[in-house]
Amino acid sequence: MSTRAALAATRESFRKLGRGQVHLKYHRQLPVALVQLDNPAKHNALSGRMMAELADCVDQLDQHQDKLAAVILTGTGSSFCTGFDLDVASEHVFDPASGRAMATLMHDSLTRLRELPLVSFAAVEGYAIGGGAELTTTTDFRIVTHSTQIRFVQLRMGAAPGWGGGYRLTRLLGPTKSLQLFLSCKKLDGDAAVRWGLAQSACPAGHALHAALDTITSYLGVPLPTDHQPTSSDRVPARPPVSLAHGSRTSSGAAELGTSTALSVEDEAGDAARGVWGQFVAMTEPVGLEAYDGHSLKSVRAIKAAVVAGDRAVREKALEVEREAFVTCWGSEENLKALERAAATAAGKKRK
């Protein structure tokens, strides 16, 4: 069986595993796509079904790349992604062979996403843990919130990076910092992620998508659309609380000028942030090009293609080594015990 045929077979077999969805949406007025992980009950942990749908989304982005300039990867609700769905792992993907299949599928999907000639952003709200932390390294840029928690916990799970995060994190931070994060399982909040060089900027909770789109529009030379008001159907993170202490700062960073003024500033910023979600809709193909009047999309795509071209020479071999290293751990006694402990902990939290 050829490599592509094997990947297709893995995708279809994984499509039957677990719940959750991955949505592909397009901006109403801009050449920008949104890939939204949607499994909020599990903090957007990826099931097998979601891995298959993520691969589907990359296929669609590739098909419509000539009508796009950028893509944003984000999660539903208050989390980005907490890695692999533990129920799927413990019931279906618990030995080296299935672990290899998963790693191969995810390497393929995330590499293809990364190498699309589209500028890519991760809008990271809340938790990005384990494989979720690896996902953040897929994109060109990372916008986090001050309360974001990024943590590579593979060592505690008796595993190793299996979604390409070892290679990509090292390209971002270098080997020393990458080893520090993997071996210490250190928790980085948003501001720490910026200091480490992992993220480009941090914003208030609930504002990551807005901040990412704002940055994209500045690169494209167009204003950020503000014509959509949030509706009850817009699935967005809750607005962060407003600090009312005298002399403090609001969660948007504005100096307190009095309670009513602070609330007004915060409400306006929060409404704008939530309204951005409604600017993306599920469609069969992009429509934002019709009203677009910014920089040349051909130039944007050419610049991105040039930047990633130099990475291809070493990427394939590096991911092969990482995949084989992952397989030596996945399904091992230590890994299975860690999965059991994690599942027991999750079950205990549900009962409470």
pLDDT in tens, 119-132: 999 999 999 999 99
In angstroms, rounded to a whole number, what is the distance separating the alpha carbons of residues 199 and 136? Answer: 9
Highest mean pLDDT among 41-50, 269-278, 314-323: 41-50
What's the average model confidence in pLDDT over 217-242?
62
What's the average model confidence in pLDDT over 39-56?
97
The strand pair at 119-124 and 141-145 is best described as parallel
DSSP 81: B
Query: Does the pLDDT value for residue 272 go beyond 70?
Result: no
Report the pLDDT value the prediction gives residue 247, as an integer from 0 to 100: 30
For domain 3-225+295-351, say whether CATH 1.10.10.10 is its number. no
In degrees, rounded to 5, the angle at the alpha carbon of residue 187 between the alpha carbons of residues 181 and 193 is 75
Do the beta carbons of residue 199 and residue 187 sit within 8 Å?
no
Cα dihedral 244, 250, 255, 259, rounded to 10, equals -30
The strand pair at 280-281 and 21-27 is best described as antiparallel
Highest mean pLDDT among 34-38, 257-261, 279-283, 316-320: 34-38
Task: Give residue-wise pLDDT tens across range 151-163.
Answer: 999 999 999 999 9
Please, what is the angle between helix 3-14 and helix 96-115, to 10°? 110
DSSP 254: P
